[in-house]
Amino acid sequence: MTQVKLDKIDLKILKNLQDDGRITNVELAKLAGISAPPCLRRVRALEENGCIHGYHAKIDHGVLGFGVTIFAQVKLMSQAEADLNQFETRVKEWPLVREAYMLAGETDFILKIVAHDWDQYQQFLTNELTSAPNVTSVKSSLAIRASKDEPGVPIDI
């Protein structure tokens, strides 16, 4: 992964966009200490060089009826690159899986899964996850509450 050289203005832009993705370019420019046209050029450059991957709204799961969040630790039989890639491809097809990370150590992947209720998760677990090729075990942990849910990274300016 190539690290991009960023100056203080770029960092201010990134921090403010991370805090509020709906901020106007005029407001963003003011907070960054530059005028609007160069601010927009910098934002576009940050998008093009991969610093900014996209913009999204943070939706409350419960409002849409997704009452449970589960973290599933998945162990695979084989860690051959082709098998890892096959599992990652399958994970991308499962809408209930919201985040997936390959890990070093005893667990091969950790998945963040949302479901309407425990029964829906159990159906997903039985019909999709544990029956997927190469999956040898799954340990499920039900989240009780989120103590912190902050997107992005800490940006020091």
Looking from the CA of 74 toward its CB, the CA atoms found within 13 Å total: 28
| Confidence band, pLDDT 50/70/90 cuts, at residue 4 | confident
Structure tokens that stand for 156 in this block: 């020091």
Residues 70 and 136 in one domain: yes
Residue type, 135: V
| 78 and 123 fall within a common domain | yes
pLDDT at 157 > cutoff 90 = no
Which pLDDT does position 1 carry in this prediction?
60
pLDDT in tens, 7-34: 999 999 999 999 999 999 999 999 999 9
Cα three-residue angle 7-53-48, rounded to 5 degrees: 60
Contact 100, 113 (CB under 8 A): no
Neighbours of 96 (CB within 10 A): 19
Tell me, yes or no, whether 36 and 102 share the same domain.
no
* pLDDT for the residue numbered 116: 98
Considering the domain architecture, whether residues 40 and 105 belong to the same structural domain is answered as no
Task: Identify the domain containing residue 124 by its residue range.
Answer: 62-142
Residue 137 and residue 67 share a domain: yes
pLDDT at 3: 79
Q: What is the pLDDT of residue 96?
A: 98
- CATH code for the domain of 89: 3.30.70.920
